[in-house]
A and B are shown apart, each in its own frame.
Chain A
Amino acid sequence: MSSEQDHLKETDTEARFGFKKEQNSAFETEKGLTEETIRLISDDKDEPDWMRDRRLRALRQFHEMPMPTDWPGQPDLTEVDIDEIVPYIRPDIDTRGGVDDWEELPEEIQDTFDKLGIPEAEKNALSGVGAQYESEIVYQNMQEQWEEKGVIFCDMDKAVQEHPDLVEEYFMTKCVPPSDNKFAALHGAVWSGGSFVYVPENVTVEMPVQAYFRMNSEGMGQFEHTLIVAEENSEVHYIEGCSAPQYSQFNLHSGCVEVFVKDGAHVQYSTVQNWSKNTYNLNTKRAIAEKDATMEWVSGSMGSKATMLYPCTILKGPGATDNHITIAFAGEGQNIDTGAKVYHNAPNTKSTIESKSISKDGGRTNYRGLVHIADGAEDSSTSVECDALMFDNESTSDTMPYMEIEESKVDVAHEATVGKIGDEDVFYLQSRGLDDDDAKQMIVAGFIEPITEELPIEYAVELNRLIELEMEGSLG
């Protein structure tokens, strides 16, 4: 059994994290990402030694690990040349670059902002112009509201400075070690920005905690780290507000999300992502759910050239529950490879996965899933449902679920369907006076309803509007 599986079973990676294992590889001679660059980032952020050491360790692991290349049907990553991408970091640290002018943004992104009806100030924020300030405001409002209950909600870089004990305990140690995969290691080395959420015992944060991604802030917004710790019997709903295309001069986004759901706690993590279409979106998102805890993932993956993202929950305590609801939309030239992973490692655990995908104009969607029920996870149940809707013959859609069952007292079910958009449905709507486009749009809106009804209204509206824009094909 490999170390990864051990990790996912035990979730205790501290021992194998490799703190003591110093391996001197030949990274000095690598022309791309170097130790010097990492020290520079760490110094620039005025980080404590332990964080700099973690970055350097992750860097070594990054150099040792191979690129994922041989998964059946995985997106083509040959264009992702780390040596070409990473050196951009350094000049950006110096310049604190970003887009200085709205007019510098690609036309399709400007269009999208206009059509979404986003005000100028927010456009600037979303596109990275002055993003640092705008997002600070968002954070500060939250702090005032909840700080008397002990809730912490701040920028991840700030958390390293102000809450080092918590961050040192949880940051890429127990949940996503850098050794998890090549892009987790890359993330561990160059991460910057993101959110830190801490909810004390018995506290319920009634309104969703929201954060917009700060693009290009300090030059590396696309390696943001989100860490959520929900103590016993607490409850929080975190929303990543990046429901607008992100402009980036780099073409790699490699974020990481770690969620700790303690006994009886309830965390919902919702995101609507619409990266610009030159972006490779290679993320690692994972939650550990303790006894009677509930984890919910709600996500919409819209943009990007290629996405590889499989949010994972480890159901570690008895009675823990996990729900995944995802939607993927792939248009021309896009390959959205997404799914869900669940590890049932304790008795009486439950999971449901509902995955929907739409492909159009040559887009490619994959559902890639894994449900693992460990020996001893008796009376666990899981149900996986995937539906794919295809618009035309240039598009493709694959579903590749894996189910590993080591326990007999379980109930496992997987179902998937694929179909073209129903001619009869379109005809029916047309016969009631709708034109072809509107009819199809209405069918799609109905198809994705299970997702939209899980989101707060403004996000649901944006998701619908984004899909409408994609359907119009007005963005190319």
Chain B
Amino acid sequence: MSTQVHATLTEQHVRAISEELGEPDWLLETRLDALEALETLPFPDVIQTPGRTWTDLSKLDFEALVDPSTTGDHKEREAPDEVDVLSFAQAVEDHEDLLREQFGSVVDPQTNYLTALQTALFTTGTVVYVPEGVDAESITIRTTMDSQSLFNYTLVVVEQSSSVTILERQETGSDADGDSRYYSGIVELVAGENSYVQYGSLQDLSEDTYNYQLKRASTDTYANADWIDCNIGSRLTKTSVETTLAGEASESKIVGAFYGHNDQHFDVDSRVWHENEHTTADLVTRGVIDDDARSVYEGVQDVGSEAWNTNSYQRENTLMLSDESEADASPKLIINNHDTEASHSATVGQVDANDLFYMTSRGVSEHLAKNMLVSGFFVPVLDEIEVEELREDVNGRVQDRLQARS
């Protein structure tokens, strides 16, 4: 329960982290406020159906998982010259005003227990700053987790009329210790007027890692914020990818892909809030689950009362490869403006028997045929990924996993 971590976590830990990063007082205060709020904040909302809480985060032993004294990671950052891609400590030095203005502006540090824990304890992070009018090439950030617990904070600020694609990858390094690990990541994305951002990520953490991530964008007028969120690794993932369409005529696309096997548990949310006129959202998620894996999907399209002329679409498809796997899907529509065209759909099923029969009748073995159909199932989401490197990475991991199927 929540008080357990708090009992072993002291103000001294937080002050030491803040001092190490050379942080200004306001940031230290934000951390200490978050630490104090732990006592009262709830865990993130999860799907509850009669008799079942699908992802019971309160059951996790955070006291055992989180060791604030041993955080370590390795980071690679590649970026074109015209943008700043900085470590958090460097950003504190170079861009304090920007940080002060934007930190916590999209994701309130006290959203829930886990975001507050993250705010109090984060030791590593990246700040991406794209100045006005820059068409940047792609930025890559690779985080290798080398400790039992890691808290990673990413802030992306894209100014007016700029464009950028960002590719993030999380992995576990060989130095990481402990039987089980905890990774926590927050991404705040501020998309300025008329900007275009695509943020793609591939989560490939070791399968003994508990993973919590919250990514949220806020869009200005005419801005376009697109997310690609691919989940392959971890023991348990609770992730939410969200966009607040705050500016008129802004757009967002949220593309998700996951492939769970063994005893993995994926709880994946996509949320969009239409807050202004002429906004458009498109949510597409495809997932495969095999063995004893479980997947939980919640998609929310919330159309506010001022969101005139809204277009909002959502599709979710789950493919079940084994009889022991379990899936839950809940695509929600919340509509407060009648000038709306909205739809959502969700399907759950196994590999199409007719397709399988067609292929086996053409001499393809059933095993190979099934693998080909699973590869094909991911094509519509892979097609949405603009950066070839990410597309190939994701596809490569899917192929690896299919190869490993017995």
Spell out A's residues near B (CB within 8 Å): 1-6, 8, 72-73, 370, 372, 375, 378, 388, 390-393, 395-421
Residue of A nearest to B45 (CB): A72
User: Residues of A contacting B305 with CB < 8 Å?
Assistant: 393
User: Residues of B contacting A403 with CB < 8 Å?
Assistant: 327-330, 346, 348
Contact with A along B308-347 (1 / 0, CB 8 A): 0000000000101111111111111111111111111111
Asked if A5 and B328 make an inter-chain contact with CB atoms under 8 angstroms apart, the answer reads no
Min CB–CB distance A183 → chain B (angstroms): 15
Min CB–CB distance A16 → chain B (angstroms): 13
Which one of A372, A397, A410 has the highest number of Cβ atoms from chain B below 10 Å of its Cβ? A397
A-B pairs with lowest CB-CB distance, top 8: A5-B51, A390-B338, A408-B320, A2-B51, A412-B348, A420-B338, A415-B345, A417-B343
Asked if A4 and B51 make an inter-chain contact with CB atoms under 8 angstroms apart, the answer reads yes
B52 within 8 A of A: yes
Across chains A and B, the number of contacting residue pairs, with CB separation under 8 Å, is 130
Asked if B50 and A408 make an inter-chain contact with CB atoms under 8 angstroms apart, the answer reads no
User: Residues of A contacting B341 with CB < 8 Å?
Assistant: 418-419
B49 within 8 A of A: yes
B47 within 8 A of A: yes
- In Å, the complex CA distance between A345 and B55 comes to 23
Taking A412-B347, A414-B346 as contacts, is the C-beta distance between A391 and B338 under 8 angstroms?
Answer: yes
Which one of B49, B322, B324 has the highest number of Cβ atoms from chain A below 10 Å of its Cβ? B49
User: Residues of A contacting B51 with CB < 8 Å?
Assistant: 1-6, 8
Which one of A396, A403, A414 has the highest number of Cβ atoms from chain B below 10 Å of its Cβ? A403
User: Residues of A contacting B323 with CB < 8 Å?
Assistant: 375, 378, 407-409
Min CB–CB distance B135 → chain A (angstroms): 37
- In Å, the complex CA distance between A397 and B343 comes to 12
- In Å, the complex CA distance between A8 and B51 comes to 9
Residue of B nearest to A385 (CB): B345
Taking A412-B347, A413-B347 as contacts, is the C-beta distance between A418 and B335 under 8 angstroms?
Answer: yes
Residue of B nearest to A416 (CB): B344
- In Å, the complex CA distance between A413 and B347 comes to 4
Interface of B is mostly: strand
B375 within 8 A of A: no
Spell out B's residues near A (CB within 8 Å): 47, 49-52, 305, 318, 320-350
Min CB–CB distance A1 → chain B (angstroms): 6
- In Å, the complex CA distance between A409 and B320 comes to 8
User: Residues of A contacting B334 with CB < 8 Å?
Assistant: 73, 396, 398
- In Å, the complex CA distance between A144 and B205 comes to 73
User: Residues of B contacting A415 with CB < 8 Å?
Assistant: 343-345
Which one of A375, A399, A408 has the highest number of Cβ atoms from chain B below 10 Å of its Cβ? A408
- In Å, the complex CA distance between A401 and B327 comes to 14
User: Residues of A contacting B320 with CB < 8 Å?
Assistant: 405, 408, 410
Taking A8-B50, A403-B346, A412-B348 as contacts, is the C-beta distance between A419 and B340 under 8 angstroms?
Answer: yes
Taking A6-B51, A404-B52 as contacts, is the C-beta distance between A414 and B335 under 8 angstroms?
Answer: no
CB-contact partner of B342 in A404, A409, A417, under 8 A: A417
- In Å, the complex CA distance between A409 and B350 comes to 6
User: Residues of B contacting A418 with CB < 8 Å?
Assistant: 333, 335, 340-343
Min CB–CB distance A400 → chain B (angstroms): 5
Residue of A nearest to B295 (CB): A405
Residue of A nearest to B352 (CB): A411
Taking A370-B49, A412-B349 as contacts, is the C-beta distance between A395 and B338 under 8 angstroms?
Answer: yes
- In Å, the complex CA distance between A411 and B341 comes to 27
User: Residues of A contacting B50 with CB < 8 Å?
Assistant: 2, 4-5, 8, 370
Further 10 A-B residue pairs, CB within 8 A, beyond A375-B324, A399-B332: A3-B51, A390-B340, A402-B328, A404-B327, A404-B328, A405-B318, A411-B349, A413-B346, A415-B343, A418-B335
Min CB–CB distance B374 → chain A (angstroms): 13
Taking A402-B49, A403-B328, A404-B49 as contacts, is the C-beta distance between A410 and B337 under 8 angstroms?
Answer: no
Asked if B349 and A410 make an inter-chain contact with CB atoms under 8 angstroms apart, the answer reads yes
CB-contact partner of A401 in B322, B331, B342, under 8 A: B331
- In Å, the complex CA distance between A402 and B332 comes to 9
29 contacts between A and B (CB under 8 A): A5-B50, A5-B51, A5-B52, A6-B51, A390-B340, A393-B336, A396-B335, A399-B344, A400-B330, A401-B331, A401-B346, A402-B49, A402-B329, A404-B328, A408-B320, A408-B323, A409-B323, A410-B348, A410-B350, A411-B349, A412-B347, A413-B346, A415-B345, A416-B345, A417-B342, A417-B343, A419-B342, A420-B338, A421-B338
CB-contact partner of B47 in A402, A409, A420, under 8 A: A402
CB-contact partner of B339 in A388, A402, A404, A420, under 8 A: A420
User: Residues of B contacting A396 with CB < 8 Å?
Assistant: 334-336
User: Residues of B contacting A378 with CB < 8 Å?
Assistant: 323
Min CB–CB distance A346 → chain B (angstroms): 15
Asked if A420 and B325 make an inter-chain contact with CB atoms under 8 angstroms apart, the answer reads no
Taking A370-B49, A370-B50 as contacts, is the C-beta distance between A399 and B326 under 8 angstroms?
Answer: no
Min CB–CB distance B388 → chain A (angstroms): 33
User: Residues of B contacting A407 with CB < 8 Å?
Assistant: 323
Residue of A nearest to B312 (CB): A418
User: Residues of B contacting A4 with CB < 8 Å?
Assistant: 50-51
